[in-house]
Amino acid sequence: MIGSHYVYWLTFALMMIGLYVVISHGNLIKKLIGLSLFQVAVFLFYISLGKVDGGTAPIITEGTQTYSHPLPHVLILTAIVVGVATLAVGLALVVRLFESYGSLEEDEILQRDISDRDTTDRDGVAS
Amino acid sequence: MTVQLPFVQVLLPLLGAPLCALLRSRVAAWLLFLLAALGSLGCAVLLAQRVATAGTQRYSVGGWTAPVGIEFVIDDFNTPVLLLVSLIAAVVAVFSHRSLAAEVAAKRVPLVYACLCLVLAGMLGIAVTGDAFNAFVFLEIMSLASYALIAMGRRRRALLAAFRYLVVGSVGAVFVLIGIGLAYAVTGTLNMADLAQRLGGLHGNRALYAAVVFVLVGLAVKMAVFPLHAWLPDAYAQAPSAVGVLLSATATKVAIYALLRFAFTVFGATLVFGVMPVGRIGALLAVLAMLIGSAVACFQTDLKYLLAWSSIAQIGYIVAGISLATTAGVSAAYLHVINHAVTKAALFAAAGLLVLRLGSARLDDLAGFGRRMPWTFAAVVVAGLGLVGVPPTAGFVSKWALATALLERGQWPVLAAMLVSSLLALVYVGRIVEVGWFREPSLVTVMNRPPVSMVAAIWFLVLLSVYFGLDATLPSSLADAAAAALLRNGG
C-alpha cells in the first residue's frame, strides 16, 4: 500500500512541512515561503494523479496507445497562476509593511502597532 | 441573448475591472462599477424569473457540454445569492462614491473600483458555477481582490490585517483545492452534478472522507466559523468603510453558499451529516461562536470591531441552522444569511458615515453622536435591534425560524446558547446607544453635512431590513425554495 502510493506520502509530507513553516515562523517572508511550499505540494499531488502507467506525454503520435491524463495538468496550470498571484500580492503587502513598520517580524510589527495606538488619539493621523 | 444570461452575470463585473484600472478616472471608474453592479442585478432578476417559470437553467461555457466543459447552473438555490450579492454591490456602489473619496488617496480610487469589480465577479462566479474546480478559481479571484482592498485601509494596521487574511485565506483555499483533488482522484470528474452521481456508490472510501473534511474546513476558514475566525475582525474593521460594507455583507455569505453546495449537492447529506459527524461538530462550533463572538463584541472599544465580532456570532446562528441538515434548518439559515447581510451592511455603512463625519469609529470619539446626528443614530438603533432580534425587524423573523427548526429536532442546548447570545447582543447594542445618546457630545467634527448618497444607501438598507421584518414573504419564499431544491438534490 505504502510502496505503490509513495508519491502521495511524499506530497503530503511536503504539504505538512509547508504548513508548519507558515504556522511556526514569525518572519513574513518565511511565512510566504511556507505558503508557496504548501501550494506546490498540492500541485505535485494533482500532477501525480494524471500519471498513467507506461503512458507518454498526451500528444497524439504514431505508434503510441497510452497517454498520461492531460486534464490534471491543465487544472494545475490554472492553480499555478493563482499561486503566483497570491505570492505577488503577499510580497507587495510585505514591501508595504516593511516601508511603514521597518520590520519583517510579525511580533515586532504588532508591538509597534500597540505603541502607536497609545500615542495617536485619532486614526487617519497614523502612517 | 437570454440564453447567455448566466455568463453575462459574471462577465459584466469581470469586464468592468480592467476598464476601471485603465481609465484612471475616479468618476468613470465609479460609474463603471455602478453600471456593472446594476447590470448584474438586472441579470439576477431576469434569471430568477426564468428559473421560477422554466426551472433550472444550464449553460455550457464556450459550447463545451458538461461533464467535459465548465457548466453554469442556475437553480432555486443560487438565485437568492445572485440577487443578494448584486443588490448589496449596487448599494455599496452608491455609498462608495463619497466614502472612498474621503478615505483613499485619489490616484488609487480607480484601482479600488477595479478590485471591487473583481470581488463582485468572483462572488457571482462562485454562485453560478456548476464545476468544482471553477468554484475554487472564482473563490481565489474574490479572495485575492479582497486582500488588496483591505490593504487600502487608512491605518498601517490594515496592511497587517490584509497579510494575515492572505496567509489564512490561502491556506483555506488550498485546503479546498486538496479536497477537490481527492474527490477528482476518486471519481475522475469535476462537474458537480456528475460528482454527486458517482460519489453516491462510494461511501466507505477513506479518500472521500478526507475530501469532505478538506473542502469543509477550507470553506469554514472563508466563512470565519468560530475557531477559524481570527482574520475577520481586523480585516473588516481596517478595510475602507465601503469595502467593509461589501465584504461583511457578502463575502462570508458566499462561502456559506459554497459550503452548502458542496455539503448537500456534491457530497450529499447522507454522507456528510449521516455517516460523518459534521452536524454535531457544526452545532458545537455554532454554540461557541454565538457565545464567544457576542461576549467579545461587548468589550470592544471601536464600533467597527464591535460589528465584526457580532458577525462572528451571527455566523454561529447560520452554522447552527445548517448543522441540523433539515429543510427547516437550512431554510432558516438561508433566511438569516439574507437578513443578516442587509442588517450588517446597514450598520457598517452607518459606521462608515460616522468615520467620515467624526474622523473615527472609536466609541470614545462617538460620544453623544446621537444628539447631533439623530437620523444616523436612528438607523444604527433600528439595525442594531435587528441584530438582537427584536420584532418587527428582519433579525426576529430569521431567529424565530431558526428557533422553530431547533425545537423540531429537540436541540435545547443550541437554543439556550442562541438566547444567551441574543441577550449579549442587547448588551453591545445597548453600549452603542449609551455612548451615542447618554454621553456628553464631543466637539470634534470633520464634516458637517452628510453626503446624500451615503445617507440614502444607509436608509435603503435599514428600511429593507424593516420591510423584511414586517413582510417576510419574499425572503422566506426564496429561502424555502432554496432549501427544498438543496435537499431534493442531495437527498
Strand, helix or coil for residue A105: strand
Distances B432 to A88, A94, B182, B362, B376 between C-alpha atoms, Å: 40, 36, 48, 11, 12
- Between CA B127 and CA A100 the distance in angstroms is 38
For chains A and B, count residue pairs whose Cβ atoms are closer than 8 Å: 89
At B491, the pLDDT band (50, 70, 90 cuts) reads very low
Query: Which of B136, B137, B171 is opposite residue A22, by nearest beta carbon?
Result: B171
Query: Which of B160, B184, B185 is opposite residue A109, by nearest beta carbon?
Result: B160
Domain that residue A51 falls in: 6-119
- What number of CA atoms fall less than 13 Å from residue B252's CA on the CB side? 35
Residue whose entry in the numeric block shows the C-alpha cell 497587517: B160
Mean pLDDT of B352-374: 84
User: Tens of pLDDT along B437-481?
Assistant: 888 777 666 666 788 888 899 999 999 998 988 888 888 888 888
Q: B374-388 and B327-358 are packed helices; what angle lies between their axes, rounded to 10 degrees?
A: 160
Whether residue A127 lies inside any domain: the answer is no
What share of chain B in percent tops pLDDT 70? 98
Is the omega angle on the peptide bond into residue B67 within 30 degrees of 0, that is, cis? yes
| A47 within 8 A of A71, measured Cβ to Cβ | no
Task: Give the total number of structural domains in chain A.
Answer: 1
Residue whose entry in the numeric block shows the C-alpha cell 463582485: B120
Mean pLDDT of B237-249: 92
| B405 within 8 A of B326, measured Cβ to Cβ | yes
Whether residue A24 lies inside any domain: the answer is yes
Q: For residue B372, give every residue at least 6 positions away whose Cβ sits within 8 Å of its Cβ, in sequence order, or none.
A: B441, B445
Count other Cβ atoms within 10 Å, centred on residue B375. Answer: 14
At A121, the pLDDT band (50, 70, 90 cuts) reads very low
Whether residue A25 lies inside any domain: the answer is yes
- Cβ–Cβ below 8 Å for B155 and A124: yes
Secondary structure in 3-state letters for B313-329: HHHHHHHHHHHHCCHHH
User: Tens of pLDDT along A68-96?
Assistant: 888 888 889 999 999 999 999 999 999 99
Mean pLDDT of B362-386: 87
| A78 interaction partners in chain B (CB closer than 8 Å) | 133, 137
- Cβ–Cβ below 8 Å for A46 and B181: yes
- Between CA B326 and CA B406 the distance in angstroms is 10
b/e sequence A1-26, b meaning 16+ C-beta within 10 Å: eeeeeeebeebbebbeebbebbeebe
Strand, helix or coil for residue B131: strand
- Cβ–Cβ below 8 Å for A49 and B184: yes
Count other Cβ atoms within 10 Å, centred on residue B399. Answer: 26
User: Tens of pLDDT along B151-186?
Assistant: 998 888 899 999 999 999 999 999 999 999 999 988
Q: B303-324 and B252-260 are packed helices; what angle lies between their axes, rounded to 10 degrees?
A: 10
At A122, the pLDDT band (50, 70, 90 cuts) reads very low
* ipTM of predicted assembly, 2 dp: 0.89
Whether residue A108 lies inside any domain: the answer is yes
Adjacent-strand bridge partners of B177: none
Strand, helix or coil for residue B155: coil
C-alpha cell at B388: 438582537
At A32, the pLDDT band (50, 70, 90 cuts) reads very high
Q: B374-388 and B412-433 are packed helices; what angle lies between their axes, rounded to 10 degrees?
A: 170
User: What predicted TM-score, i.e. pTM, was given to this entire model?
Assistant: 0.92
Give the N- to C-terminal CA distance of chain A in Å, as an integer.
57
Read off the CATH number of the domain in which A26 is found.
Answer: 1.10.287.3510
| A113 interaction partners in chain B (CB closer than 8 Å) | 156-157, 160
Q: Kindly report the average pLDDT of chain B as a whole number.
A: 89
Whether residue A104 lies inside any domain: the answer is yes
The nearest CA of chain A is from the CA of B181 a distance in Å of: 6
The answer, yes or no, to whether residue A58 has pLDDT greater than 50, is yes
For chain B, helix (H) and strand (E) counts, in that order, are: 21, 2
Length of chain B (residues):
491
| Chain A interface, Cβ < 8 Å to B | 15, 19, 22, 28, 31-32, 35, 38-39, 42, 45-46, 49, 72, 75, 78-79, 82, 85-86, 89-90, 93-94, 96-97, 100-101, 106, 109-110, 113, 122-124, 126-127
pLDDT at B239: 92
| Chain B interface, Cβ < 8 Å to A | 133, 136-137, 140, 144, 147-148, 151, 154-157, 159-160, 162-163, 166-167, 170-171, 173-174, 177-178, 181, 184-185, 190, 359-360, 362, 365, 444
pLDDT at B57: 84
Distances B311 to B258, B316, B352 between C-alpha atoms, Å: 18, 9, 16
Residue whose entry in the numeric block shows the C-alpha cell 458545537: B284
Q: B192-199 and B157-187 are packed helices; what angle lies between their axes, rounded to 10 degrees?
A: 50
